[in-house]
Structure 1
Amino acid sequence: ERWLLLPRRGIHILDPNRHDSSKMGFLVKGKPLSWKESDKVREYVKKHGVEQFIHIWKKNKDREDLDFLWGDEVEGFLCQLTEKEGKKAIKLSLRGSEVLEKLKEAEKEETEKAEEKAGCGTCPPSVIFHPEYGCFMIETTPSAPYGGFVRDLRCVEANMRLRRAKVKEHLKTGEVYSTMTTYPLMGVDKFTLPPHDPNGPVAKSQYVPDQLINPHPRFATLTANIRTRRGSKVDIRVPMFKDKNTPPADTEIHMDAMAFGMGCCCLQTTFLARNLEEARSLYDHLAVLGPIMLALTAATPLYRGRVADTDVRWSVISQSVDDRTPEERGEVPEAKEKALKKSRYDSISLFIADAANAYFKDKYNDLNVKFDKEAFDRMRKEGLDEILAKHIAHLWIRDPLVIYQSRVELDDTKDVDHFENIQSTNWQSVRFKPPPNSDIGWRVEFRTMEVQLTDFENAAFTVFIALVSRAILAFALNLYIPISKVDDNMHTAHKRDAVTSHKFHWRQDLGSTISQHMLKKNGGTTVTNPLKSTSGSNNGGLKASGFMRSIIEVKESEFRDDTLDNFCRVKADNRFVLVYGELDEKGESWCPGCSRALPIVEAKLKSFQSSTALLKLPVSMKLFKDNEKHPYRIQERLNIQSIPTLIRVGAKGIFDTPLASKWCTDTFCVNQYMAYSAAKRLRGGSTKALLKEDSKGNDSISETTIKKIMLGQGGSEPLGLIPIVHAYLDMIECDSETRKVVNGYLDLIADRASGKLMTAATWIRRYVELHPEYKKDSKLNEPLVHDLMNTLDR
């Protein structure tokens, strides 16, 4: 069973030394400096953060990661439900830190036992729990990344169910762990358990107490420093839903603390890219998808005991950490040159694909983006290209918010704290994540999705975005639209019922190597040729998608490549030859030299032109090397995890399934020339991008519904993302068991897009509207929210 590439167990791709939380950055032991105390070292930290990135870039700019690894993060919160003598009550439970400690104790034992049993290609054996901003919150992730096996797609929901079950094991009677985005009564009266008063010294909020902030000193420091730098409390305003009995004066929901935003729960995914170029391209395309997925996952219609006229959390979080000064917010006319358009939590402002990307055009970066000129010049001097240097320099217009007293003077060649200090507190819709000083490569984090009410939904959207990310690369899709239109889409995504009632800017020509006639009505594909690969572009092909084409069964035969004078013998009984590579420029053979080197296998290869490497069973591999007689052969027994190593040297190998009785002396002698050529093509090849533009030379971009974005135009361009995912699944020959599961996920998303199924936000609205406690005045009370949370828990 094979999807893209083999996983490496024992590392985590979400964040280095995963002791932090996704939104909050590193949780370091030590004393953080107050804003005043950090005055003397902020510029030092910024300067050395740039030096640390330069070192990372130089060390990893040519790095290749042949494994496809990915992961998810799901956040939830605790609340306590009670009912005495018919009186229903609910409180936000502040036991998150206590429950987390119990989970970590159990996690250590269970993970060790599970990893002893876990073999290559298995689902992550356990789970990991992390702290978040609120001490009522718990974040969960798989204990190891998902890998490139098709069956990993089936692991996601099972792992999410396991996480929820483990949290529930440590809850008290009446306590609920919910994956709802917000606690609806946050900021209403004494809403916490135990109860606390607002107006604490950290947040100075009139609505929420400081005691709900995670006890780690980083969180309180972050809260206080944002407020101090800003010069006032944060000012969050959301339009209120106007119902029949809503008072005319009630037009907004007001909130005044970071907890209202960073107390929101999210669903995030992270993908390991093959290399720097792929990470940059994927970053751009996922940024375009960000608003679409935000609207599809809409789940946040309730704040501070009120019903909002918006459906998603994004702008609330953005306002909750907006540390811009009055000058930076544009409130001082004589200081317009200092104005910054966005909060440090917002959608991206720059695409970052390199100049070799045939789809990217400078005109797409149509925002006037401010950047740190000194940081930019320093990076350009060290060899960074203009686009990437500008991206980092744009992040550097922000100040570091939390500096640890003991972590100021560091070795820039070994530590990344100063870089991560600013990088991790630029909370954008997509995050470009350079390799830290560990066994992790270039990654892209997708951050816009709202957490869903059920594990099935969370798994559906996690798997969908993973498959879309692969389809973008495999089919060389072009999703580019101007950044300003991405921003417009983000605003549209906030609107009530945006999925079915509003339109989004979308590219009409996706520039793909897959065309409409390849798609069947049932979502299948009639692809007869795999993607070709030509040099000069970083879009598509084997290099980008990472999957191997076929495992070919061959009969015992003997043949010779007279040109290279290499004798090759293959014997097969339950054995398979793994072939890397693809059709050549003429479409005649799979690998350079394949028609000469493997004439007997050639016919078999052609019959598998639309296939992908699918390993039905765990296998072992071995190649032989006799240094004296055959310097190009490798003599060692290898397990399945070694395939990426073989790809790096371009080796071909013989597989021995568990059904085979013994290895004997059967060998597959590698043609070194062919192997080298294939490896070179794998590393350097990619599908050439062909942009189709109208006669005026303008990109074809128009406003369209999410239904059409997801399902297509019914036989015309553009193709829908769901049919494209189906085509991708067909091309990789997804097994029937996995396909059944994934089809269920895709059906959910298709029904959401078409309006057949409600978003979580719409469902919650309907529940509130129909509840007998609701007075049509846009207000919530404890009995109503008690019943809502009780229903969701069931």
Structure 2
Amino acid sequence: MRESIETDKDRREIAKEHMEPNEFPITLTTFPRLGAKDRSITPEYPLSGEKLRSQFLPDEIANPHIRFPTLAANIRERRGRKVEINVPVFKDEKTKWPFNDPTVDYDMHNWPEDDDVRNGAAKENHIYMDAMAFGMGSCCLQITFQAKNIQEGRKMYDQLSPLGPILLALTAATPIYKGFLADTDVRWNQISRAVDDRTPEELGEKPLKKNKWRIPKSRYASNSTYISQDHRLRREYLDPNLVVDSVAKQKLMDGGMDDLLATHFAHLFIRDPIVVFNEDLQQLDLTKVDHFENLQSTNWQHMRFKPPPPGNEIGWRVEVRPMEIQITDYENAAFSVFVVLITRAILSFDLNFYIPIPRTTENMETAHIRDAVNTEKFYFRKNPFPSRPPRMNGSSGASTPISRPGTPMLPVSEEYELMTVNEIINGKEPSESNSKGFPGLIPIVENYLNSVNVDVETRCEISRYLTLIKGRANGSLWTAAKWIRHYVDMHPDYKKDSVVGEGITFDLVKAVEQMTVNEGKDGLGQEMLGKRD
């Protein structure tokens, strides 16, 4: 733990070496006034450039590597129009209603796509954005785990998938877009829409003629497959509307791949590559996986299964992608450690979090609701332990669940229920719908820690991290989204009209800078971080 903290401090030092003296590295998911007409970014550049063609953002804001402007252009070209990002605006006491985004210029006509806003792209009562940079400019907390083999990797992919929406709600940190308070708290759907390259036919707006399939999700979306060869994986858990490339699937199976994994990759292969480098088309090099990675890396799901590159000892990896970046290194470390410990508990206790994939898809939508961590319920499995009651390990008292073959299975609809985030994280008392209650993810993690040798100092540090997670789940500690909303609401310049102006933004960013340095030890952000010594 001490080593990770020292590394976090080095992050700021390294960043400062590449910044101007008046700049400071902070971690917000997105700049609150990105794309506002009275821009807070200097120097200012002209809008509506050839690459992004955005009426809110200059081309200079995009990464100069050719991949990124090419992605933006190709997504736009494949769609046949600009991307449409509409976020519901938060209706405050004096918000003009109905709300029509005042930053939208309906008269702008530099490019053919500028007709989009006149054709209904900017929705009433929504904040409108029109470029990939609004989504892919967001920041998140992603963790990649090393698996010891393919079987472990597949198991981790499946079992962590239902946890994704819970982690998204716990880390909510994105309540402002383009200088307006939004009625959502997280970034996920905005990124999804920012890279949605589906055509009108694939969206179901027109009959299929040129395209092969109607595709229900953007290429940036929640998972649609399970891949583990786990005897507990039931057909009823799978997505009944999954679209796959049947030709690609058959080729994979002919090459020796099993049905589940072939289905997973054949689902990814329904997407077109949206950026290809000329040199990769000159000659097919079977010793490389560039073409596969091109498709794999532009299918952005909330979990990613990553095969090892050929000739490399990296091994099989699983990437956890839904969490929002947090303001302080302390919070980011806490959520990282928590997810690591969950993976250890899954493998140690053979935990089972399977629920039907459509329920996880619904949960991802629920996680967007303002203050969902405190106000909403999520579908989650009632009993994560194997069928047979846990056998206690005499040396440590830790439970080591062992399965009993042949146990009658419940109907799938009875295996899960709606729970609050607090019940999922901290545990739920027995009820009429669940006679045994739910143990809670943190008690499971603590049980795992009791079963392994952890020195006192490390255990104390882990305890501090888990206390933060507990508090976020039970509502005693705020999410970053709630803290930011409160800061704006209390600011003397805020007029209860949903507008986050220049002055509010400047003070907010300065407060975030102070919190980044002091991590709440001066009392700032105590509602979010708790009391820090």
TM-score range with shorter-chain normalisation?
0.7 to 0.9
Equivalent in the alignment of 1:783: 503
Amino acid at match of 1:218: R
2-side partners of 1:517 and 1:723: how far apart? Answer: 17
SS in 1 for 2:380: strand
For residue 277 of structure 1, report the CA deviation from its aligned partner.
1.1
Higher strand share: 1
User: Does structure 1 residue 396 correspond to structure 2 residue 269?
Assistant: yes
Match of 2:242 among 352, 369, 389: 369
1-side partners of 2:179 and 2:90: how far apart? Answer: 12
Amino acid at match of 1:707: N
Equivalent in the alignment of 1:306: 180
Equivalent in the alignment of 2:83: 234
User: Could you give the per-residue CA deviations for residues 579-600 of structure 1, whole angstroms, max 9, x where no partner exists?
Assistant: xxxxxxxxxxxxxxxxxxxxxx
Q: Is the 8 A contact 2:88 2:127 kept in 1?
A: yes
User: Does structure 1 residue 708 correspond to structure 2 residue 423?
Assistant: yes
Equivalent in the alignment of 2:493: 773
For residue 308 of structure 1, report the CA deviation from its aligned partner.
0.3
Equivalent positions of 1:332-481 (< 5 A) are 332-333=206-207, 338-354=213-229, 357-437=230-310, 438-481=312-355
User: Could you give the per-residue CA deviations for residues 109-159 of structure 1, whole angstroms, max 9, x where no partner exists?
Assistant: xxxxxxxxxxxxxxxxxxxxxxxxxxxxxxxxxxxxxxxxxxxx4433332
Q: Is the 8 A contact 1:301 1:761 kept in 2?
A: yes
Match of 2:443 among 720, 723, 741: 723
2-side partners of 1:326 and 1:693: how far apart? Answer: 46
1-side partners of 2:501 and 2:341: how far apart? Answer: 41
Say if 1:285 and 1:780 are closer, same or farther in 2 by CA, change over 3 A. same
1-side partners of 2:27 and 2:225: how far apart? Answer: 32
Equivalent in the alignment of 2:3: 155
For residue 393 of structure 1, report the CA deviation from its aligned partner.
0.6
2-side partners of 1:497 and 1:161: how far apart? Answer: 31
SS in 1 for 2:87: strand
For residue 768 of structure 1, report the CA deviation from its aligned partner.
0.4
Give the TM-score of the pair, scaled to structure 1.
0.58
Q: Which runs of 5+ in 1 are unaligned?
A: 1-152, 520-524, 533-686
2-side partners of 1:383 and 1:696: how far apart? Answer: 33
1-side partners of 2:403 and 2:138: how far apart? Answer: 42
Amino acid at match of 1:305: G
Say if 1:235 and 1:750 are closer, same or farther in 2 by CA, change over 3 A. same
User: Could you give the per-residue CA deviations for residues 451-490 of structure 1, whole angstroms, max 9, x where no partner exists?
Assistant: 0000000000000001101101110000000000000100
Q: Is the 8 A contact 1:184 1:305 kept in 2?
A: yes
Equivalent in the alignment of 2:518: none
Equivalent in the alignment of 2:469: 749
2-side partners of 1:697 and 1:752: how far apart? Answer: 30
User: Does structure 1 residue 200 correspond to structure 2 residue 40?
Assistant: no
Equivalent in the alignment of 2:118: none
User: Could you give the per-residue CA deviations for residues 301-325 of structure 1, whole angstroms, max 9, x where no partner exists?
Assistant: 0001100000000000000000001
SS in 1 for 2:216: coil
Equivalent in the alignment of 2:126: 252
User: Could you give the per-residue CA deviations for residues 743-781 of structure 1, whole angstroms, max 9, x where no partner exists?
Assistant: 000000000000000000000000000001111110111
2-side partners of 1:395 and 1:495: how far apart? Answer: 28
SS in 1 for 2:318: strand
Amino acid at match of 1:241: F
Amino acid at match of 1:161: K
For residue 517 of structure 1, report the CA deviation from its aligned partner.
9.6
For residue 528 of structure 1, report the CA deviation from its aligned partner.
4.2
2-side partners of 1:441 and 1:484: how far apart? Answer: 30
Q: Is the 8 A contact 2:398 2:451 kept in 1?
A: no
SS in 1 for 2:135: helix
Match of 2:161 among 287, 304, 313: 287
For residue 334 of structure 1, report the CA deviation from its aligned partner.
5.9
1-side partners of 2:412 and 2:228: how far apart? Answer: 21
1-side partners of 2:143 and 2:404: how far apart? Answer: 27
Q: Is the 8 A contact 1:213 1:220 kept in 2?
A: yes
User: Does structure 1 residue 217 correspond to structure 2 residue 66?
Assistant: yes
Q: Is the 8 A contact 2:388 2:403 kept in 1?
A: no
Say if 1:697 and 1:410 are closer, same or farther in 2 by CA, change over 3 A. same
Q: Is the 8 A contact 1:694 1:700 kept in 2?
A: no
Say if 1:789 and 1:531 are closer, same or farther in 2 by CA, change over 3 A. same
Say if 1:529 and 1:460 are closer, same or farther in 2 by CA, change over 3 A. closer
User: Does structure 1 residue 268 correspond to structure 2 residue 117?
Assistant: no
Amino acid at match of 1:262: M
Say if 1:334 and 1:406 are closer, same or farther in 2 by CA, change over 3 A. closer
Give the TM-score of the pair, scaled to structure 2.
0.86
User: Does structure 1 residue 490 correspond to structure 2 residue 339?
Assistant: no
For residue 699 of structure 1, report the CA deviation from its aligned partner.
4.2
Say if 1:281 and 1:496 are closer, same or farther in 2 by CA, change over 3 A. same
SS in 2 for 1:172: coil
Equivalent in the alignment of 2:526: none
Amino acid at match of 1:750: K
Q: Is the 8 A contact 1:330 1:338 kept in 2?
A: no
Say if 1:225 and 1:689 are closer, same or farther in 2 by CA, change over 3 A. farther
Number of residue pairs matched by the alignment? 481
2-side partners of 1:312 and 1:757: how far apart? Answer: 17
Amino acid at match of 2:173: A
SS in 2 for 1:193: coil
For residue 733 of structure 1, report the CA deviation from its aligned partner.
1.9
Say if 1:367 and 1:402 are closer, same or farther in 2 by CA, change over 3 A. same
Amino acid at match of 1:405: N
2-side partners of 1:411 and 1:199: how far apart? Answer: 38
SS in 2 for 1:748: helix
Equivalent positions of 1:583-598 (< 5 A) are none
User: Could you give the per-residue CA deviations for residues 30-62 of structure 1, whole angstroms, max 9, x where no partner exists?
Assistant: xxxxxxxxxxxxxxxxxxxxxxxxxxxxxxxxx
For residue 693 of structure 1, report the CA deviation from its aligned partner.
6.3
SS in 2 for 1:351: coil
1-side partners of 2:281 and 2:315: how far apart? Answer: 26
For residue 688 of structure 1, report the CA deviation from its aligned partner.
4.5
2-side partners of 1:443 and 1:388: how far apart? Answer: 15
Larger Rg computed on CA atoms: 1
Amino acid at match of 1:345: Y
For residue 332 of structure 1, report the CA deviation from its aligned partner.
1.1
1-side partners of 2:396 and 2:386: how far apart? Answer: 13
1-side partners of 2:429 and 2:272: how far apart? Answer: 49
Q: Is the 8 A contact 1:230 1:323 kept in 2?
A: yes
Equivalent positions of 1:116-195 (< 5 A) are 153-189=1-37, 190-195=39-44
Q: Is the 8 A contact 2:149 2:315 kept in 1?
A: yes
SS in 2 for 1:462: helix
